[in-house]
Structure 1
Amino acid sequence: MGSRPALALLDILRDEGVDRVFGNPGTTELPFLAALSQTDDAPEYVLGVHEGAVVSMADGYARGTGRPAFVSLHIAAGLANGLIGLLNARRSRTPLVVTAGQQDRRHLQQDPMLSGDLTGLAAPAVKAVYDIQHARDLPLALRRAFALAVRPPAGPVFLSVPMDLLGEDTEIEVPARTPTPAPGPAPGLERAALLLGDATRPAIVAGDGVGREDALGALIRTAEACGATVHHQPMADCLNFPTTHPLHAGMLPPRHDAVRAALAAYDTVLIVGAHAFTPHHYTPGPALPPGLTVVQLDSDPDEIGRNFPADTGLVGALAPSLHRLAELLRDRVPDHTAKSRILRAGERHAAERDRAESAARAAYSRAPLAPWAAAHAVARGLPPDAVVVEEAITVGLLLRRIVRLDRPGSYTHTVGGGLGWGIGAAVGRALAEPGRPVVAVLGDGCTLFGLQGLWSAARQTAPVLFVVMNNGAYRTLQDTYESMGGQGVCPGTDLGRLDFTQAAGFFGVDAVRAQSATHLRELVAGAGKLTRPLLVDVPLRP
């Protein structure tokens, strides 16, 4: 039985588990909107007033549900506005299926208003592009897009769909969905167990693949089986290992010299699901110290040996691979050896955490707050089961050092670098997991980039606590300028004092200004009781 193109599109969305469409429509999307309005069980349309917020909401929703999110953008200009979100999604490996309506094909050669090279524009920011020119090709391309979006490395896939094609009065066949078999453990785990089992100072680098593939529990078993110290990958996007665990040693800094120094203490390292350490600032030399034995495990075969040589490279699904590796290690590493390593690591890491805790408490005062105090107030105020959506740059680095989280999915960041992601991502996350408190910790510059997302927060009545760290500057750029020996004031980095309570009020979001670290902590502690969005403006010391 066939369906008309727009209805066929809806049939596939329902079949792929899509229950929401994130979009900002225009004339080229009218056939799709008409199909939505005429279908009783159509997905809910979640409107954003800027495409940056639209794609960010879809990003947060996909991460919260574990399914590809569907995005509908408008023509070349709408796609261009959404590119920053697509770049973030590609770097963070968030599965999205994105469409944009192209101008009517019957006058496309005349260069009509709003037309453009959609696939050319999208190609650098997505995994693959499809330029649909025939209605019969749309269902097959959509099936491919959903499958490709989740295949390692996951990411966004784009389709250009002319408006007249969706409105055609023609019947097309919808191919059935083919279930993909669950991937299994990697071959060669015995060799990995031999190398890790013989190590005297083993370590693990927990990459974002662990969080994306829900392999946190499996990694805990592996680490405990050999007593390996665990570092998060630089600027991790997920919680990949519990920060409460005695083996957790914090995040590796995003510089090769710092990674090399941190890993020099070990003789063998297991690198799991990490995208090549993602350096930020250049430093000479490799990321890994000489003589280090490297075991690399990833579900993406392109990652193996990509930026550093591995003594053994393993390709397979992370959770079953790690569970099997843990079993093999328990047969090789004596129980008393693993427990002794865990005990020593716990004592060392507890002392480090105590130093950070003391530094933060010593910084407590009334507003404007010291960054340490603000980070500590958020970390200690978080209600149980909270989700932290972090786009705070400088304060975020402090927050990572003192936050105590252990549930998968409880920390979300984007390493993509495109500012303005946090507000929309938090709204999407709240829609995906309505039972969990969502606390968005944002820099003031990041907030300015994504401010339109507050409109959607109010429209959706999303119970998100938005915490804006207001230092009046692009502080991370100023810090980098000073570290490079810059003299005087770095131009173009001063934002001035901004009142984000007024900005929130304009969009219909309640707002309050934090008066002290204790006040901020109380506001964060109340995040689980929110029934609508609330913004907290946190003045920080320069």
Structure 2
Amino acid sequence: MGSRPALALLDILRGEGVDRVFGNPGTTELPFLAALSETEDAPEYVLGVHEGAVVSMADGYARGTGRPAFVSLHIAAGLANGLIGLLNARRSRTPLVVTAGQQDRRHLQQDPMLAGDLTGLAAPVVKAAYDIRHAHDLPLALRRAFALAVRPPAGPVFLSLPMDLLAEDTEIEVPARTPAPAQGPAPGLERAALLLGDAARPAIVAGDGVGREDALGALVRTAEACGATVHHQPMSDGLNFPTTHPLYAGMLPPRHDGIRSALAAYDTVLIAGTHAFTPHHYTPGPALPPGLTVVQLDSDPDEIGRNFPADAGLVGALGPSLHRLATLLADRVPEHTAKSRLQRAGERHAVDRDRAEAAARAAYSPAPLAPWAAAHAVAAGLPPGAVVVEEAITVGLLLRRMVRLERPGSYTHTVGGGLGWGIGAAVGRALAEPGRPVVAVLGDGGTLFGLQGLWSAARQAVPVLFVVMGNGAYRTLQDTYEAMGGKGVCPGTDLGQLDFTRAAGFFGVDAVRAESAAHLRELVRGAGHLRGPLLVDVPLRA
């Protein structure tokens, strides 16, 4: 049975599990909006007042639901505003299906107002871009887009939809959805077990693929089976190993020299679901120390051997592969050996954690706060089951060392680098998991990029605690400038002290200023009792 194009679009969205549309509309989206208004069981339209916030909300929603989120943007200008969010989603491997309305095809050759090369604009930051020219191509392209968005490596897929195409009075067939086949365990796990099982000093790098594929429990089994010390990948986007576990040794630094130094203590490493050790600052030399035996496991075959050679390269679903590897290791590594390694690692790591805790507590004071104290106050105040959405740059690095988290999905970041993601992502995450407290830890610079997301937070009445760390500068630039030997004041990096409580009030969000580290801790502790958004302005010492 056929459907009009706009109604066929809604049929496919329902079939793909889409219950919300994140968008900012214009004239070219009116046929789609009309279909939404005519359909009783249509997805809810979540309005954002800037496309950066729209895409960020969809990003957070997709991560919280585990399904592709659907985004509707307006023509070339709206797509251009959303490109930063799409870049973040591509680098963080968040599955999105994104559409933008194109001008009416009947006058495209006349260069009408707002028209543009939409697929050319989107192509560098998405997995694929489709220019839909005929109504009968729309259903097939949409099905293909949803399938491609989740296929490793996951990411955003874009479709350009001409305004008049969606309004056509024609019947088109909607193809049935074909469920994607589940990926199984990787071949070659026996060799991987041999290499890891014979190691005297094994280690594991927990990549973001572990969190994305819900394989955290399987990685814990694998680590415990051989007593391997575990590091998060550099600037990890999520929680891929419990930070409370005795084997956990913290995040690797985002520089090749730092990674090389940290991994020099080991003779064999399992690198699971990690995107090629993407560095931030250049340092000479490779990421891995010489002589290190490398076992690399990923669901994306392009990652194997991408930036470093692997003695064993394995391709398969991370959860099933790691569970199988844990079983093989348990048969190969004596139980007393694995337990002895776990105990020794736990003792070392406990000393490091206690030292960091003591230093942070000693820095507690009235506002303005020391960054260490602010990070500790947030970590110490987190209510049970909380989700941390972090875009705090310098304070975020400290927060990673302080948080004690175990539940999958409880830490969210974007390695994409496009500022302004945090507010929208927190709103989307709260919509996806309404029973979990959401604490967004934001830098003042990033907050300025994404302020419009507060409008959606107020409109949706999401119970999100927005914690804005105000150091009055692009601090990470100033720190890097000094490290590079820069002289004097780095130009263009001073923001001055800003009152974010006033900005929150403009958008209808309640706000308060943290008076001390203890006050901040108590505000965070109350995040689980919020009935709407609350912004906390945290003045930091220079």
1:298 positional shift: 0.0
- Please say which of residues 178-187 and 375-384 is displaced more in the overlay: 178-187
Q: Distance in 2 between matches of 1:206 and 1:277?
A: 11
What CA distance in whole angstroms lies between the structure 2 residues aligned with 1:112 and 1:185? 52
> SS in structure 1 opposite 2:448?
helix
Task: For residue 312 of structure 1, report the CA deviation from its aligned partner.
Answer: 0.5
Report the alpha carbon displacement of residue 402 of structure 1 after superposing the two structures with TM. Answer: 1.0
Query: Secondary structure of the residue that 1:536 maps to in structure 2?
Result: strand
CA shift digits 1:87-131 (9 cap, x unpaired): 000000000000000000000000000000000000001000000
State the Cα distance separating 1:6 from its structure 2 match: 0.1
- CA shift, 1:26, in A, is 0.1
1:490-509 residue CA offsets vs partner (Å, 9 max, x unmatched): 00000001000000000000
Distance in 2, Cα, partners of 1:213 & 1:477: 34
Give secondary structure in 1 for the equivalent of 2:172: coil
Q: CA deviation at 1:438?
A: 0.1
Deviating above 2 A after TM superposition, structure 1's stretches of 4 or more consecutive aligned residues are none
Secondary structure at the counterpart of residue 326 of structure 2: helix
* Secondary structure at 1:319 match in 2: helix
In 2, the alpha carbon distance for the partners of 1:412 and 1:494 equals: 27
Structure 2 Cα separation of the partners of residues 46 and 375 of structure 1: 32
5 Å-filtered alignment, 1:194-205, equals 194-205=194-205
CA RMSD of aligned residues (A): 0.3
Match of 1:248 in 2: 248
Q: What is the deviation of 1:58?
A: 0.1
1:418-497 to structure 2, matched below 5 A, reads 418-497=418-497
Distance 1:351 1:416 in 2: 33
Moved more, 353-362 or 392-401: 353-362
1:181 CA displacement: 1.7
Post-superposition offset of 1:393: 0.2
Mapped partners of 1:506, 1:521: distance in 2: 26
Report the Cα distance in structure 2 between the residues aligned to 1:179 and 1:56, rounded to whole angstroms: 27
Aligned to 1:504: 504
The alignment partner of 1:231 has SS state of strand
Q: Could you list the per-position Cα deviations for residues 50-88 of structure 1 after superposition, in whole angstroms to 9, with x for gaps in the alignment?
A: 000000000000000000000000000000000000000
Residue matched to 1:22: 22
Deviation at 1:180, TM superposition (A): 1.2
Shift of residue 420, structure 1, vs aligned partner: 0.2
Shift of 1:144: 0.2
| Cross-structure match for 2:259 | 259
TM-superposed CA distance for 1:169, in Å, is 0.3
Distance 2:145 2:352 in 1: 46
Post-superposition CA distance 1:212-271 (Å, at most 9, x none)? 000000000000000000000000001000000000000000000000000000000000
Deviation at 1:355, TM superposition (A): 1.0
- Say which SS state the counterpart of residue 173 (structure 2) adopts: coil
- Counterpart Cα distance in 1 of 2:34 and 2:256: 53
SS of 1:376's partner is helix
Distance 2:528 2:446 in 1: 24
What is the match of residue 2 of structure 1?
A: 2
Compute the displacement of 1:435 (Å). Answer: 0.1
TM superposition shift of 1:538 = 0.1
How much does 1:510 deviate? Answer: 0.1
Give 1:362 deviation, angstroms: 1.3
- Residue 279 of structure 1, CA deviation: 0.2
Match of 2:328, SS state, is helix
Q: TM-score of the superposition, structure 1-length normalised?
A: 1.00
Provide the rounded CA distance (Å) in 2 between the counterparts of 1:502 and 1:426: 20
Shift of 1:468: 0.1
2:332 maps to what in 1? 332
* Aligned-residue offset at 1:13: 0.1
Secondary structure (helix, strand or coil) at the match of 1:168 reads coil
Shift of 1:396: 0.2
Q: Structure 2: which 5+ runs fail to align?
A: none
Q: TM-score, normalised by structure 2?
A: 1.00
Secondary structure of residue in 1 paired with 2:415: coil
Give the whole-Å Cα distance in 2 for the aligned partners of 1:272 and 1:414.
Answer: 19
Instruction: Give the Cα–Cα distance (whole angstroms) in 1 for the partners of residues 359 and 147 of structure 2.
Output: 48
Per-residue CA deviations over 1:141-196 (Å, capped at 9, x if unaligned) read 00000000000000000000000000000000000000112110000000000000
Give, in angstroms, the shift of residue 283 of structure 1: 0.2
In the alignment, which residue of structure 2 is the partner of 1:525?
525
Between the two proteins, what is the percent identity of the paired residues? 90
Deviations 1:268-306 (A, max 9, x none): 000000001110000000000000000000000000000
Q: What is the distance in 2 between the residues matched to 1:179 and 1:421?
A: 31
Q: What is the CA distance between 1:454 and its match in structure 2? A: 0.1
Q: Secondary structure at the match of 2:203?
A: strand
C-alpha separation in 2, matches of 1:70 and 1:498? 35
Q: Secondary structure at the match of 1:260?
A: helix
Q: Name stretches of at least 5 consecutive residues in structure 1 with no aligned partner.
A: none
- Name the CA distance, whole Å, in 1 between partners of 2:150 and 2:338: 36
CA distance in 1, matches of 2:406, 2:478: 33
Aligned partners of 2:373 and 2:109: how far apart in 1?
60
SS of the residue 1:81 aligns to: helix
Q: Secondary structure at the match of 1:423?
A: helix
Distance of 1:293 and 1:452 partners within structure 2: 48
SS in 2 for 1:537: strand
**Superposition deviation, residue 358 in structure 1:** 1.1
Give distance in 2, aligned partners of 1:479 and 1:211: 31
Aligned residue for 1:266, secondary structure, equals coil
1:452-472 CA-partner distances (Å, limit 9, x unpaired)? 000000000000000000010
CA distance in 2 between counterparts of 1:306 and 1:179 reads 30
Local SS of the residue matching 1:53: helix
**Distance in 1, Cα, partners of 2:262 & 2:358:** 23
Secondary structure, in 3 states, of the residue corresponding to 1:33?
helix
Deviation of residue 359 (structure 1)?
1.1
Q: In structure 1, how many angstroms separate the alpha carbons of the residues matched to 2:381 and 2:264?
A: 36
